[in-house]
Structure 1
Amino acid sequence: MRIVVVGDTLLDVDVEGSSDRLAPDAPAPVVTVSERLSRAGGAGLVASLLARDGHDVDLVTVLGDDDRTADIEEDLARTGRVRVIAARSGAPTPSKSRIRSSGHVVARLDEDCGLTTPPPVTADMLAAIGGADAIVVADYGRGLTADERLRTALDDAGRRIPLVWDPHPRGSRPVRSAAVVTPNLAEARGFSGIAGDDRRAAAEAAARLSDEWGAGAVLVTLGHEGALLHRPDAPPHLVPTTEVRGADTCGAGDRLAASIAGALARGADLSSAVQSAVASVGRFLAEGGVSSLVLPDNARPLGGDGDAALTVVRAIRARGGTVVATGGCFDLLHAGHARTLAAARALGDCLVVCLNSDDSVRRLKGAERPIMGQEDRSDLLSALECVDAVLVFDEDTPVEALRRLEPDLWVKGGDYTADQLPETAVIAEWGGRTVTVPYVPGRSTTRLAGALSRVG
């Protein structure tokens, strides 16, 4: 299944720092920079989100030929699932930089974000649209969606497959075959001319836009109230969400559009797709929003589940939480494991399990082990409510994995002492601590394996 994202791509940058004084020459905060994080934004963010959901993605877009484009392409390449099909503009890549102090945005710098004339669409771009299983149009007002050949291809595709259109105030009118258009309330008011900031205004704006656009549905997002779904053949329906206080809402609209498209591509009806997408936005914000998507350079060697673990760690750390890690072979999951894992999770705000790979287990336990392969062992651990992520490592010890995660606490069962563990000295490198939790006697993989062999 391949989802095509069509739209304008830009570079998003977060400049993180802290501020405790004002500049001597102006009433402006002085931000001491601690970190600069960049990622694909606009249509690039939608593509990245879909890739992280497990979809293969074609990104049909316009790119420049500069360092910003290189940063975008590098970010998208990390997902391993995004194929970029771009017309080259020759113009600087637009960039939006948020200056953040202690997690709060104090300013935003927009560079090269003015209107330009995009280059003509290419045959490869049109072919990608024609071969899509679902489409998201992420219009950021840069002119790509005004191309008549592109619009014809989109309209034709929307008659065959789900097409989700996320509009922009400076963008183009959605094609009539769109399954759903997803403006926020401010955009819906601007497009429709309806005044007001309540649900009634949202319903009136959605009804008017549904008539004007001819789309299958209009979904107006309402922030912490959720979203209002209007279809021509049904009364307006409010889809509530769980409010996440103090959340960074940047990227919420992109998360919504991506989730709707993914659900529709899997065969869900529109109502179910919208409900699951609104819930996914709540989870996205609770996990830290876009700040949870940018992985540090040292995450790259981990790949796959390592990226997922680092995403969890980054989200918890952004909220000031405590990261806990533990590790082992977990060859046959038993009650002793479950109690140790639950005790470890109770010590912090997330638990990452560092799991020995099959090759690692064989070196440690012998040729007849593991009893279960690493995928099954990982799936069983992930199914436990107390486990937030699993990271499979191939070395004999999890030392290198820990250097990537840098957990606050490393937890092992009480059959070990801290000074016996090679991880103790490593975790102290960044100020972490090794903790042991009570040992549960009479439970072991060897004992359980022996019992199973006796009963055949």
Structure 2
Amino acid sequence: MSGAGGGAVVVVGDALLDVDLVGSASRLTPDAPVPVVEDLETRERPGGAALAAVVAAQATGREVVLVAPLADDEGATRLRALLAGRVRLVAVPATGGTAVKQRVRVGDHSVVRLDSGSATVTLGELPAGATAAIRDAAAVLVADYGRGTTSDPAVRAALAGARGPVVWDPHPRGADPVPSVRLVTPNASEAARVAAAGGVPAEGDGLAAVGARAEALIRHWGVGAVAVTLGARGALLSYGEGAPMVVPAVPVTGGDPCGAGDSFAAAAALALADGAVTGEAVAAAVAFAGRFVAAGGASAWDASTVREPDVAAEDGVSSLLARVRASGGTVVATGGCFDLLHAGHVATLRAARGLGDCLVVCINSDDSVRRLKGPSRPLVTAADRARVLEALEFVDAVVVFGEDTPAEVLDRLRPDVWAKGGDYAGADLPEAAVLRQWGGQAVVLPYLDGHSTTALVERSRV
């Protein structure tokens, strides 16, 4: 997300401190059938509105401002330290204590969550700087976690006066959005709960039922649009009349969904700040949230780094490979230009995925394709080629490389198997020597004869 020019993106809501206690478990306690978790490692990160703010800051060049109530306690001190250098904090004086949510995790699985701190906060006077930041923001994201911030009259008045678009991520215990909101982003259960309170049946999770609830919520709240997030199914966007827009999600292998809603709402706000229309913002948010989950979700947040999950970024791919290797799986990679995807490509990719537990496709950048194929190629940009490949159920990740050969990207990814389609049987593949450095194996897959992009282009010219 570019974030070039314009004002700041302001996040308003409840800031939490999230703590993961990650360990291993190999036995049960003798007095109860519960695991003994040992060798604990403590990982702290911003939570709630604070998480939404740092996710937004990692994904844009814009300034991100967090307006949130903070008490004067140890939790708030730790939270301030995590936010320092990442977002500009405008703290609202508050009483009630910092909410701390601790998850005890064994590997990728949560065993129990321990919550502490007051369930609600009482705000002091809203600082003048907060009101000005909200008023002048390029976009505002309200991250409501039901602790009372969105019910405060001064906060609501400031939000009603915002000049930029407002995205509201609601909470079951939170207040209704202010009527001027451009987009509200409840998840499926939140939408069903609020709609049921208004007399709309909560039965069923089909698109017709979800669409009916979204229309009801638009009437109930008086807002511009509602995007109901559906997890792995994507999101449904309704403007209150006409056919809703459904944005499917790209399937994600593994990952941690913690923080997915925050990442979705943050991405939608950033897109609106950059001038996107609501439908474009929701489509961008679905894609961003999928990459966020694939990269490990909130639990993968590292206080020492700032990075954006991206379709071509190898950070997310590295997380995928780490999960596969941790379970003893086999990583397979293949590569090529994949300009005009055809049946031969599909057959090779499907066969490659069958050799292991995940498939990473390494594709040549546009400049690399031009050097290899000539100035008239590629016919399809690298970004669009990546999107098409990622839509295939047997492709787990795509990486774009700019060199003429995949040697460098292979050295970074270090797959167990490099699969190549074509008439290479009996020949030593150029990449084989690279694979041997870490004990990998280069293999040849049968190629579907009579199918090539060059042949397709030539036939189209006849």
Q: TM-score, normalised by structure 2?
A: 0.66
Which residue of 24, 39, 42 corresponds with 1:18? 24
- The one-letter code sitting in structure 1 at the alignment partner of 2:280 is S
> 1:228 is matched with which residue?
236
Q: Following the alignment from structure 2 to structure 1, what is the Cα–Cα distance between the partners of residues 12 and 144?
A: 8
Q: Which amino acid aligns with 1:153?
A: A
Number of aligned pairs? 350
SS at match of 1:186: helix
Distance 1:320 1:90, change over 3 A: farther
SS at match of 1:85: strand
- Is 1:15–1:33's contact at 8 Å kept on the other side of the alignment? no
* 1:268 and 2:272 correspond: no
Secondary structure of the 2:17 match is strand
Aligned to 1:173: 176
1:210 matched to 2:210:
no
Q: Contact 2:256 / 2:294 at 8 angstroms: preserved in 1? A: no
1:186 lines up with 2:189 in the alignment:
yes
**Among candidates 91, 107, 111, match of residue 106 of structure 1:** 111
Task: Please give the residue correspondences for 1:73-88 in structure 2 after superposition, counting only pairs within 5 Å.
Answer: 73-77=80-84, 80-88=85-93
Residue of structure 1 equivalent to 2:125? 120
Aligned-pair distance for 1:30? Answer: 0.9
Instruction: Report the Cα distance in structure 2 between the residues aligned to 1:25 and 1:191, rounded to whole angstroms.
Output: 43
Deviation of 1:65 (Å):
2.2
- Return 5+ residue gaps in structure 1 as ranges: 325-346, 352-382, 390-404, 419-432, 439-456
* Residues 68 and 320 (structure 1), Cα distance of their counterparts in 2 relative to 1, 3 Å cut: farther
Q: Which among 24, 27, 35 is matched to residue 33 of structure 2?
A: 27
For 1:349 and 1:69, how far apart are their aligned partners in 2? 43
Q: Is the 8 A contact 1:66 1:92 kept in 2?
A: yes
The SS at the match of 1:47 is helix
Question: For the aligned residues, what is the CA RMSD?
Answer: 3.8
CA contact (8 A) 1:56 1:81 kept: no
1:200 paired with 2:205, answer no
CA drift at 1:190: 1.1
Q: Say whether 1:71 aligns with 2:81.
A: no
CA positional deviation for 1:252: 0.8
Cα distance 1:197–1:184, how it changes in 2: closer, same or farther (>3 A)?
A: farther
Cα shift at 1:133? 0.9
TM-score by length of 1: 0.67
Residue deviations 1:248-303 (CA, integer Å, cap 9, x gap) = 211111011011111111111111111111111111111111122224xxx46xx7
Contact 1:7–1:60 (8 Å) recurs in 2: yes
Task: Please give the alpha-carbon distance, in whole angstroms, between the structure 2 residues aligned to 1:118 and 1:388.
Answer: 51
TM superposition shift of 1:408: 11
CA shift, 1:310, in A, is 6.7
- 1:267 is paired with a residue whose SS is coil
CA offset at residue 88 of structure 1? 2.6
Preserved CA contact (<8 Å) 2:215 2:241 = no
Query: SS of the counterpart of 2:122?
Result: coil
Secondary structure of 2:115's aligned partner: strand
Residues 370-390 of structure 1 deviation map (CA, whole Å, 9 limit, x = unaligned) = xxxxxxxxxxxxx9975689x
SS of 2:10's equivalent in the other structure is strand
Q: 1:150 aligns with which of 155, 173, 176?
A: 155
Counterpart of 1:3 in structure 2 is: 9
C-alpha change, 1:349 and 1:117, in structure 2 (3 Å) is: same
1:50-76: CA deviations, max 9, x gaps?
A: 100123101000112223222222222
- The answer for the alignment partner of 1:277 in structure 2 is 285
Cα separation, partners in 2 of 1:386 and 1:233, compared to 1, 3 Å: closer
Amino acid at match of 1:258: A
Q: Distance in 2 between matches of 1:46 and 1:388?
A: 31
Residue 94 of structure 1 corresponds to: 99
Give the 3-state SS of the residue equivalent to 2:78 in structure 1. helix
> Do 2:255 and 2:296's aligned partners in 1 also have CA atoms closer than 8 Å?
yes
In the TM superposition, residue 175 of structure 1 has moved relative to its aligned partner by 0.7
- SS of match in other structure, 1:235: coil
> Moved runs in structure 1, 4+ residues, more than 4 A?
308-316, 347-351, 383-389, 413-416, 433-438
Pair 304,240 (structure 1): closer, same or farther in 2 beyond 3 Å: closer
Q: Which amino acid aligns with 1:59?
A: L
Deviation at 1:120, TM superposition (A): 3.1
Superposed, which structure 2 residues align to 1:330-349 within 5 Å?
none
Where does structure 2 lack aligned partners over 5 or more consecutive residues?
1-5, 332-355, 362-384, 387-397, 403-411, 417-430, 443-462
Q: Please report how far the alpha carbon of residue 113 of structure 1 lies from its aligned counterpart in structure 2 after TM superposition.
A: 4.4
Whether 2:299 is the aligned partner of 1:291: answer: yes
Give, as a single letter, the amino acid of the residue that structure 1 aligns with 2:169: D
Give the 3 Å change call, closer, same or farther, for CA 259–304 of structure 1 in structure 2.
closer
Name 1:397's counterpart in structure 2: none
**Displacement of 1:27 after TM fit?**
1.9
Residue 293 of structure 1 contacts residue 311 of structure 1 at CA under 8 Å; is this kept in 2? no
